[in-house]
Amino acid sequence: MSVELLGAIANIVTLFVVGISALAAVRQLRHYRDANQLQAIISVVHDFKDEKLQLALRYVQVELPARMQDAAYRDELSRVGFVDSETHPEMQVCNWFNEMGTLLKNRLVDEATFLDLFHRLAAYYWNLLTPTIALLRRNRGDWQYENFEYLAAAAQRWRDTHPHGTYPRDRVRLPVPDPWLSSDPPATTVAGATVSAP
């Protein structure tokens, strides 16, 4: 066997080994990315379940509309400066959704997974909090809670592209009988959306 042939075989083997190593590295990077995405989603879900945030979410649903009728309450939101989240629990909700929008916009969480979990919630609370955000933007500018807005727009796009959810089409759906359908009153609507637990 000639030296040239041995050199060519060695080059081919080296190229093969480098190719296999590159494929293994790509698989390892995907594994790390998936693990990081999983950890990010677990962290988001954990933060969402925090009792203080849950109370603030409930406040926005139940108490905020009446509180927004008070001019002094609205004035506290429209002034530039610190807004006390103890007096204004809606700020906790705005801040959480804004943080989630930041994570989504910067691709620190997987958009498909995040929106599969939270698209209804994000759109629902954006609609509830739009008057609050309008007041906050009066003297602060349109950038105020822009990442919450980004998240709400992404949620709306998600809903538009998945109007019937993401249940796999090739899988059989289970029956879900509603024994009270004929006796319960129809659901009410707020801002064009059916009100139900987000």
Picking from 54, 88, 50, the residue whose alpha carbon sits closest to that of residue 68 is 88
Residues 12-22: pLDDT tens digits? 878 777 778 77
Q: What is the pLDDT of residue 132?
A: 97
Give the number of residues written for the chain.
Answer: 198
Provide the pLDDT confidence category of residue 44 given band limits of 50, 70 and 90.
Answer: confident
What is the distance between the alpha carbons of residues 192 and 33, in angstroms, rounded to a whole number? Answer: 39
Residues 57 and 125: beta-carbon distance below 8 Å: yes
Q: Quote the pTM value.
A: 0.76
What is the distance between the alpha carbons of residues 118 and 113, in angstroms, rounded to a whole number? Answer: 9
88-113 burial string, b = 16+ CB within 10 Å, else e?
Answer: bbbbbbbebbbebbbbbeeeebbeee
Residues 135-184: pLDDT tens digits? 999 999 999 999 999 999 999 999 999 998 899 999 999 999 999 999 99
